[in-house]
């Protein structure tokens, strides 16, 4: 990764998409992150699930995320589009 992950960095599933949350913490050891997913809450994800880091953005690799995180991502924008 070219840049360091910082608390407050925004979380994305792809470059050019809207953000779906933010980094809450980098856990000791640096192998896990606590991220907040909109409408889903906080989740621990492995650093191996990060595809890229740049410009205050963390892009996730969906293939490396556990099912509960994927479900939360699917619901992240639901309240913005209630109908």
Which tens digit of pLDDT belongs to each residue from 71-83?
Answer: 999 988 775 555 5
* pLDDT above 70 as % of the chain: 92
Classify 33 as helix, strand or coil.
strand
Q: What is the pTM of this model?
A: 0.86
Structure tokens belonging to residue 83: 């109908």
Over the stretch 17-28, which tens digit does the pLDDT of each residue have?
A: 899 999 999 999
CA distance 61 to 65: 7
């Amino acid at each position: 990764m070219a840049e360091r992950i910082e608390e407050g960095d925004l979380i994305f599933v792809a470059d050019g998409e809207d953000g779906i949350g933010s980094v809450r913490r980098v856990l000791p050891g640096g192998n896990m992150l606590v991220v907040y997913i909109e409408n889903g809450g906080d989740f621990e994800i492995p650093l191996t699930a990060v595809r890229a880091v740049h410009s205050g953005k963390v892009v996730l690799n969906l293939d490396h995320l556990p099912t509960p995180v994927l479900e939360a991502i699917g619901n992240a924008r639901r309240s913005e589009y209630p109908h």
